[in-house]
Structure 1
Amino acid sequence: MNSIDDFVQLLRDELGLYITREDIASTFDQIDGWDSVHLLTLLTHLERLTGRRINLPDALEAPTLEELYTVAVGR
């Protein structure tokens, strides 16, 4: 995972959500179709792609996909 654009593509390809670059700044309740299963699936993919363990409490505190990306990649 090299960029936020790769993250957006992952959301589309692996979760089947049509997410734009602008959508990732929205809160989870504003994302059409988002649910907790998406979060668990996304975290699994992110750990596999980054080779890093993601701190679950930090991930659960992220209010947006953009902040979740930051938690996952450490930026």
Structure 2
Amino acid sequence: MTVDEFAALIHDEIGLAVTADELDRSLDQVAGWDSVHLLTLLTALERATGRSISLPDVLSAPSLGTIYTVVVGGV
């Protein structure tokens, strides 16, 4: 999964318009972000990648960029 595909997945699954350049913002700076989005994103990422993703790693991630790193780093 590329960073652009990750940003598109966020838009398609959650409805938040973020660009690859904005992924390093802290989650509390992402307009409209909440904890329900995190669970929705985790489910969508597992579906898109076809594998389990560490919930503790995602929960401790300070940004969408860190979540992306967890996802691609686990491949």
Regarding TM over 0.5, the answer is: yes
Runs of 4+ in structure 1 off by over 4 angstroms are none
TM-score by length of 1: 0.91
Give the gaps of 5 or more residues in structure 2.
none
| C-alpha displacement of 1:4 | 0.5
Give the match for residue 24 of structure 1. Answer: 23
Give the gaps of 5 or more residues in structure 1.
none
The DSSP-based 3-state class of the residue aligned with 1:43 is helix
| C-alpha displacement of 1:65 | 0.3
| C-alpha displacement of 1:49 | 0.8
**Structural RMSD (CA):** 1.1
TM-score by length of 2: 0.91
**What is the count of residue pairs matched by the alignment?**
74
* Amino acid across the alignment from 1:21: A
